[in-house]
Amino acid sequence: MASLFQLLLLNQKRSLCTKVSTSKWKVKQVTTSNFNESLEEIKTHISSSDFIAISMEKTGSSSTTPWHRVQPFDTAETAYLKASQSAQRFQLLQFAVCPFSVTDSNNFVAHPYNFLLFPRDELKLGMPAYSFLCQTSQLASMARQGFDFNACIYEGISYLSRAQESVAKIRLGTGSPSLAAMKSSSPPTVADTVFVERIRSRIKHWRNTCKNSGAKTSKDEEIINSIRNIVLGNDQFKSRPCLNIDVCSERQVQLILQMIVDFQDDFLPLVIPTKSGTTQAVRIVLANSREDKELLERELHSIEEEEGKKIRGFREVIDLISASQKPVISHNCINDCTLVHSKFIAPLPSEIDDFVSSLCKSFPKVLDVSYLMKKSGTMKKVANIRNALSYVNTHFFAPVDMEIPDQDTEYKGNVDGLDALRLSYLFTKLCSILKISPIVPEFGDRRLASELEDFTNVFHPCSDDIQESSCNEDVSVWTNNTRKINCEHLVFLWGFKFGMTAGMLKSALRASHDIFSGEFDVRFVDKSCAIVVFWQPGLSRDFINVMNGDGISGGLKELVSDGLRVTCYETYRTMCRLGLWEMDLAESLEKALECSLSDKEINCERKSSEIHWCNDNVINFADL
Amino acid sequence: MKPRKLHSSILSRALSRALSSSTATTTSPQCGSAFPLKTVTVANFEPSLTELRHHVRSSDFVAIDLEMTGVTSSPWRDSFEFDRSDVRYLKVRDSASRFAVVQFGVCPFRWDHSIQSFVAYPYNFFVFPRQELAGFGPCNEFLCQTTSMDFLARYQFDFNACIHEGISYLSREQEREAIRSLNSTHDSEWSDISKLNDVRDAPSVNMADILFTARMKDKFSEWRDGLLQEQNQSGQIQGTRKDSKQQFQEMFFKTHPALKLDGFTSRQLKLIQLVVKKHFKDLSYFNVNNEVSGSQQIVVYTDSEDELNLLLKEVKEENHRAKEAKIQSAVGFRHVIDLLSSEQKLIVGHNCFLDIAHVYSKFIGPLPGTPEEFVASVNKCFPHIADTKILMNTNFMLQERMKKSKKSLAAAFTMFCPQIAGGSKSTELVSPSHVKVNVEVDDSRSSSWNPGGKHEAGYDAFMTGCIFAQLCNDLGVDFKLHESSKQLAFNEKLRKYINHLYLSWMHGDIIDLNTGDKVANSTPSYNLKRRYPKIMFENIVIIWGFPSNIKAGEVRECISKAFGLTAIVSVYHLDATAVFVQFSKTELVSDFLLLKESLERSNGPISVLHPLAKLLEGGNTCAANYDTYKEICGSPLSETLFADQANKVSMKWKTKLIENKISLSSEEHESSCLHDNANDVALNLVEKIKPNKIDQLRNDQSRGQASPSEIEESCVAEANL
């Protein structure tokens, strides 16, 4: 067993090695040790490229429980919920970025990078992740492909999402106070006025002494000054005199900041926070002049930037991609985007529209290559980029030249993170097959070819318009399968005898009730649960009514007595929303039913907000 | 620690591991003076197990230590002062069932009379929960805590070795299940060997199929005819006929002539099955699972029906055996646990309650729901467990020695065994009160090595064992008089410490594994440690989901305003989203829940101006008693924030509260009209609140701290009431 495993590993390595040696597939590997220099490099590459291909490796996917994956019978909403659940639970270990430009219809220039990531709690704030989930099978398969876990965990680059960064800044107190944010909540009381006046006179006094001591310096006065400094709490900040004023509430901070404005503008207030995020004191720095104050502000700003860089870590790269507003190429758009959003932007919102609008703010154009694959006539769903590439290579003749101009691209026998490069290769190839020009005009509004625009920001896994456009010719063969149905006509069924096949279940149902005299189909989702598709509208509702009514009789009664349970698509949706991800779908549906029974009113509220989803309720039966 | 240097060493290590499967033992290859340790991976598991078996049998005790991928799944699952022992157990259970064990250190210690010292055999097993049997085995998912991973990385834990070559395992329960399912398919296994699985599913309407079927029919009849001819003309060898495509290979299967099928697709095999079944009475199709050659498809010629049946039975049994062997090999690392359990040796750990819980959940079965059940089942598997931490802390004399130093394992090691920890070369100089320990790995013995070994489970187990030996010595256990045949666990001087484990170190709860009772901790230092007033769990309310800017002090302030200053004993932050509030009286718990509920129901000015309104702002504030907290801890979910977790567990928290209220009020025999309408509730409230309010005002004034605005506010509230 062991030796077999070793052999397998060796084979894997060898095959990868031969592949690399014959072609010039190489990727710059980036860890903490060379991150800063690589960041500068990639910055120029991103700005000079037309597209950015991304691909990532995470600690698990939901593939072991089939129904946790996005299924054809999922609407955009449930698909999003499934993807976001997986994105939240697992961690990124590797992020491959490949900025590339297509120079000619079959030639592209690429700058592939592979970043090793590890969520290290560098600030001791429990961020970016307190804990994360790993899937053994996923880790084992990564190991088979030669992934270096030691390098990843020892030297992986950490990061914080944008939301986490702002939390961290507050807690670390690096955030600069802004007067605008501090709105005066209540009119000043007597106590406030007393406080302000006391502080004002103290500041005045201190300022005068500062100015005076600058004017003339005798030795005695120096000594007196230094004693005074100790007594008054004076200090030096960046070789400028400053005064620390202890405060005991946020209200006092606000008062001090407001009062400072009244003085001439050579004062710079700095808020010193405590560990828990509240303010401990206000430090007032006295600048020599207005120019000096600006200088100081700039200096503080750059320090803050530097700190921020350290906090953001790998997210710098994401921010660069986002700032460039270049189209992002991904292979499994919904999975990748939910992952990027949850790790680098903010926690995933519960509604898909919120997610899409939030994502589009950062990444205005996301292209999914799997749609291009579909358009090229591949009906088969290709799971990963490598398979997709080999499929395209064997089925189409479309030579593509790849150029990786970087001389310093490090190759250390490590071939991790080729997927982004493969993706850009695949993209160029598919464009050449489909006769789409991926060349982005140098000037103007940098619009993509209209065919490509169609594929941007499609977050529905089996969106229909694309389907239709790709199946024009094949209608005669595929009519039977491309039938689409509104998800209202689906009924989930479980509690039948273990070991039944779809055929057995179908005939059992047909014999059980008149409703099943019409056309219907049965499809198993997992071993415990099946979907019944009623082709005739309204029958699904009738069936559920019959099941819930008292008048069950005959064969159906027999089935129900054996434990048959039924629910509509709405329950499935509720289940996804509530995040009831049990191993068996039947178990989850059962729980969802329990919940929906107990709070009907919540359901009602939700209904109204979901009406606009009806368009997406159409499902492609071909993939069922 | 220079990262670049580190990297190259990792790379070379990874490469050497990947390229050579022959490195059976990686016994510190660089320098001979590093701590000798036997590292065990998949590659050398079998021989190491045999070796270990021998060492464990002859040992006096066995020290163990585990490295896990994490300890707490979310911050609020950390251990708190406010954890009752059953809650503490639930937290341990959560930890043990979520995180994976990545390294398991086992170190048998044997007293060698000839050299008057202990001999230790440290083993360091890399463990990884790989699924080696489809559908059975360790859970496919495990959690990692980033800080723990970082910790492991700091001590240069070899993750590659763990994931590439870690030994997998099946728990006893998983093995039972695998065998059960094997036996249940055993009877219906005809399908695997000769039955056509739903041939109707693949109707041969395809022209290609028909042609293929016809060709196969010809092939088989030709072969059979050839065999029959051969039989008739006995002695004549006919070896010239060989299939060009090598798809059919002639062979003998259990003395029957047979054809081995090679290079067919599953569909083609199905068609072949069909042909054989349909057209040939004396041929039969077999799918043979063999330990050596794996799965094979063959077509066998048999002379008679009886012969065929006999053969079928034989094949069936062989397949069964092959599967059983596969299960046995999947048991993997659990063989080590079975060994420790069956030898009934004294197991020694350091603060090992969590370790034992891990051992149980990974290798025995799912952890039971209560600490009592858990303790009973553990005692069955491991009758003698000693915890060095207990020995260190329950003994006053040892306590004194430990007082000044830190409590970590390494600190204890340097404290109690300075001669071993320091790695002093001249063992003769060591004072007689110190126990001598030699280390033996692969039959080579050493007594000195460089101090400061890596933080590995094997080394930690070794340290634990050394401390234990030294502590025993200090307690007056004389190993020189001790016969190795006699169990150390029954020694008079040790006996009272055996099978006592810290359930919660912070709380000082000790659990007795023999009886399941909690043992009172009477150590002097423990009493000094107690910082909080005595915790009355029935007086506790847990509140979560309140506005995020409210801190513990403000919670106390709010509640004190409503219930009086003496009502609250303590307020304790669970995390940023939840607090424990301990009331002075048990009744106040239900009073508080009632008040909160009624305030939420009425929208009048009372609820807006009520002192609790600040706490209830936002409408998401939930409250419940201690039992709900226990329920939430017992849930298999794990959210980072307590409020999220609580809301997920009790998704219908409003009804939950009503239930609470009804049960509580019925306990108190309050008039039922209380629930009937809001007015009555309000009236009741006035009565309840008024004295408190006045009380509070008086208090405030007497302390001279009440700000004018505060008094104003409360006056308005009263006026409205």
Which residues numbered 167-206 in A keep a CB inside 8 Å of some CB on B?
189, 191
User: Rounded mean pLDDT of A378-389?
Assistant: 70
**Whole-number pLDDT of residue B453:** 57
**Whole-number pLDDT of residue A22:** 38
Q: Are B169 and B334 in contact (CB under 8 A)?
A: yes
**Whole-number pLDDT of residue B441:** 84
Instruction: Write out the H or E segment, with its range, that includes residue B458.
Output: helix B457-475
Query: What mean pLDDT, rounded, does chain B reach?
Result: 73
For residue B360, how far is the Cα from the chain centroid? 7
Flag whether pLDDT at B357 surpasses 90. yes
**Whole-number pLDDT of residue B561:** 81
**Whole-number pLDDT of residue B314:** 83
Q: Are B89 and B503 in contact (CB under 8 A)?
A: yes
**Whole-number pLDDT of residue A283:** 76
Contact B128 A3 (CB under 8 A): no
What is the C-alpha separation between B158 and B456, in angstroms, rounded?
Answer: 10
Q: Are B405 and B415 in contact (CB under 8 A)?
A: yes
**Whole-number pLDDT of residue A217:** 57
Segment of A187-191, A260-264, A529-533 carrying the highest mean pLDDT: A529-533
User: Rounded mean pLDDT of B464-482?
Assistant: 82
Crossing angle of the two packed helices A502-512 and A554-561, in degrees rounded to 10: 130
**Whole-number pLDDT of residue B496:** 79
Contact A595 B165 (CB under 8 A): no
Segment of B158-167, B266-275, B385-394 carrying the highest mean pLDDT: B158-167
Structure tokens at A48: 């000079």
Q: A253-287: per-residue pLDDT in tens?
A: 777 777 777 776 677 777 776 655 566 677 777 77
**Whole-number pLDDT of residue B705:** 38
Question: DSSP string covering A54-119, please?
Answer: EEEEES--GGGSGGGS--TT--HHHHHHHHHHHHHHB-EEEEEEEEEEEEETTEEEE--EEEEB--
B292 interface with A at CB cutoff 8 Å: no
Residue A148: list chain B partners with CB under 8 A: 10-11, 14, 160
Flag whether pLDDT at B711 surpasses 80. no
Out of A5, A129, A413, closest to residue B146 by CB = A129
**Whole-number pLDDT of residue B109:** 92
- How far away is chain A from the Cα of B96, in angstroms, using its nearest Cα? 14
Residue B164: list chain A partners with CB under 8 A: 9, 143
Q: How far is CA B406 from CA A469, B154, B349, B409, B414, in A?
A: 71, 20, 18, 9, 11
Contact B153 A154 (CB under 8 A): yes
pLDDT-based confidence at residue B361 (cuts at 50, 70, 90): very high
Which residues numbered 548-567 in B keep a CB inside 8 Å of some CB on A?
551
User: Rounded mean pLDDT of B495-499?
Assistant: 80
Structure tokens at A343: 């790790």
Q: B311-322: per-residue pLDDT in tens?
A: 888 888 888 888
For residue B256, give every residue at least 6 positions away whose Cβ sits within 8 Å of its Cβ, in sequence order, or none.
B300, B301, B302, B307, B311
**Whole-number pLDDT of residue A468:** 33
- How far away is chain A from the Cα of B5, in angstroms, using its nearest Cα? 11
**Whole-number pLDDT of residue A252:** 77
Q: Please measure the distance between the N-terminal and C-terminal CA atoms of chain A and give it in whole angstroms.
A: 38
What is the C-alpha separation between A7 and A503, in angstroms, rounded?
Answer: 43
User: Rounded mean pLDDT of A89-101?
Assistant: 90
Q: B228-258: per-residue pLDDT in tens?
A: 877 666 444 444 444 445 677 778 887 788 8
B129 interface with A at CB cutoff 8 Å: yes
pLDDT-based confidence at residue B492 (cuts at 50, 70, 90): confident
Q: Vertex B419, ends B415 and B425: CA angle to 5°?
A: 155
Closest CA to B124 of B405, B333, B295, B416: B333
Flag whether pLDDT at B192 surpasses 60. no
For B167, nearest residue in chain A (alpha carbons):
A2
B48 interface with A at CB cutoff 8 Å: no
Segment of A19-23, A392-396, B234-238 carrying the highest mean pLDDT: A392-396
A3 interface with B at CB cutoff 8 Å: yes
pLDDT-based confidence at residue A589 (cuts at 50, 70, 90): confident
User: Rounded mean pLDDT of A441-468?
Assistant: 59
- How far away is chain B from the Cα of A319, in angstroms, using its nearest Cα? 24
What is the C-alpha separation between B192 and B180, in angstroms, rounded?
Answer: 17
**Least-confidence region, from A147-151, A181-185, B441-445, B637-641:** A181-185
Of residues B165 and B519, more confidence is placed in B165
Contact B160 A412 (CB under 8 A): no
**Whole-number pLDDT of residue B715:** 34
pTM of the model: 0.75
pLDDT-based confidence at residue B702 (cuts at 50, 70, 90): very low
Which residues numbered 600-639 in B keep a CB inside 8 Å of some CB on A?
638
pLDDT-based confidence at residue A459 (cuts at 50, 70, 90): low
* Strand-strand pairing, B568-575 and B578-583: antiparallel
**Whole-number pLDDT of residue B50:** 93
Q: Are B100 and B142 in contact (CB under 8 A)?
A: yes
Q: B43-81: per-residue pLDDT in tens?
A: 999 999 999 999 999 888 999 999 999 888 888 888 777
A411 interface with B at CB cutoff 8 Å: no
Flag whether pLDDT at A10 surpasses 60. no
For B640, nearest residue in chain A (alpha carbons):
A130
Q: Are B203 and B322 in contact (CB under 8 A)?
A: no
Flag whether pLDDT at B347 surpasses 50. yes
User: Rounded mean pLDDT of B543-565?
Assistant: 81
Query: What mean pLDDT, rounded, does chain A reach?
Result: 74
pLDDT-based confidence at residue A596 (cuts at 50, 70, 90): low
Is the ipTM of this structure higher than 0.90?
A: no
Q: B418-434: per-residue pLDDT in tens?
A: 777 765 544 444 566 77
- How far away is chain B from the Cα of A35, in angstroms, using its nearest Cα? 13
Q: B106-126: per-residue pLDDT in tens?
A: 999 988 888 888 899 999 999
Contact A33 B18 (CB under 8 A): no
